[in-house]
């Protein structure tokens, strides 16, 4: 665990850049993290991010299948919004822990 300065805020992150404390998250941090991933956040992106945060608060293990059934995005759209590794990238920007699921 280490302290990292993101958008002027000091936040606790693990060595892979996932935030350790969701309470430290804010929209400016999200914008900065998204920029690192070359993603411009649209309305849809924000909806996905708040869905992930809700699931995290409910302590539900998140999977791509669940995101696809959330009613917010289909799996295809999820891959388009967060290309490459959608669940990991989205979790990183949302300030939620690194997903441990294989699905």
Active site residues: 102
- Only segment of 11-19, 20-28, 29-37, 80-88 that touches another protein (CB under 8 A): 80-88
Q: Give yes or no for residue 88 binding another protein (CB under 8 A).
A: yes
- Residue 101 CA, distance from chain mean position: 14
Report the nearest approach of another protein to the CB of residue 20 (Å).
22
Binding-site residue total for another protein (CB under 8 A)? 19
Q: Give CA–CA dist 45/79, Å, rounded.
A: 11
Q: Give yes or no for residue 79 binding another protein (CB under 8 A).
A: yes
Phi, psi angles (nearest 5°) of residue 40: -95, 120
């Amino acid at each position: 665990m280490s302290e990292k300065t993101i958008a002027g805020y000091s936040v606790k992150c693990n060595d892979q850049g996932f935030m350790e404390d969701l309470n430290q998250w804010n929209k400016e941090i999200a914008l900065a993290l998204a920029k690192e991933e070359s993603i411009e956040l649209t309305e849809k992106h924000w909806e996905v991010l708040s869905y992930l945060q809700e699931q995290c608060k409910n302590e539900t293990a998140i999977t791509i299948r669940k995101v696809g059934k959330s009613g917010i995005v289909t799996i295809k759209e999820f891959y388009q919004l967060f290309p490459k590794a959608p669940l990991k990238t989205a979790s990183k920007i949302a300030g939620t822990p690194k997903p441990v699921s294989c699905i």
